[in-house]
Amino acid sequence: MSTLALNKKALFDYEILEKFEGGLVLSGPEVKSVKAGHVQLKGAFLYIHKGELWLKNAFIAKYEPATGVQKEYDPYQDRKVLVHTKELNRFIGKVTQEKLTLVPLSLYTKRRMIKMEFALARGKKKYEKRETIKKRDVDRQMRERLKE
C-alpha cells in the first residue's frame, strides 16, 4: 500500500471526526498519471449529487504519452467515488443535519486499485488554527531542549 498523494492542508483546516475509504473511478490514462504522482488534493472536497458521491477540484495531470486519447481533457473534472449505500446514506444525514464536510485526505494503492481515504470533518475557526500553530511551536521547542 503506497501513498500517492496527501492533503496536508485538510488536517490544518478541519477537525477530523471519522475516516473512511472509497474507490475512485478513473480512466486508464488518469490511473497512470496518478500512479506517477501527478495528482493534488489541495482544495478538493466531496459532495453528494443524485445519490452518488463525487470528488471535486482534485487535480490529475494529463498523461503525456496518451495525448491522442485525451484530446479535450479537463484535469479538474469531477470524479465518482465508490462507497457502500449504507455509508452514503449516513454521509447524507451527517452533512445535512450536522453541517459537516467530506474532505479527501490521501490517495493510495491497495492491490491494483486506487483508493481514497476521506473524512467527515468540521471546519476550524481562525482562533483554533492559531492554537494549533502555537502548540506545534511549543512542541518543537520542547524537542530542541530535550536534545541539548
CA pair distance 104, 123, nearest whole angstrom: 14
Q: How many structural domains compose the chain?
A: 1
Q: State residue 143 phi and psi, 5-degree precision.
A: -65, -40
Containing structural domain, residue 143: 3-147
Identify the CA nearest to 47 among candidates 87, 78, 10.
78
Pull the grid cell for residue 95.
Answer: 452533512
- pTM exceeds cut of 0.85: no
Domain of residue 133, CATH code? 2.40.280.10
User: SS3 of 11, please?
Assistant: helix
pLDDT in tens, the chain (148 residues): 688 888 888 888 888 888 999 998 888 888 888 888 888 888 888 888 888 889 999 898 888 777 677 778 888 888 899 999 888 888 888 888 777 888 999 999 888 888 999 998 888 787 778 888 888 899 999 998 888 7
Q: For residue 91, give the 3-state DSSP assignment.
A: helix
Burial class of residue 3, CB neighbours in 10 A (0-12, 13-18, 19+): exposed
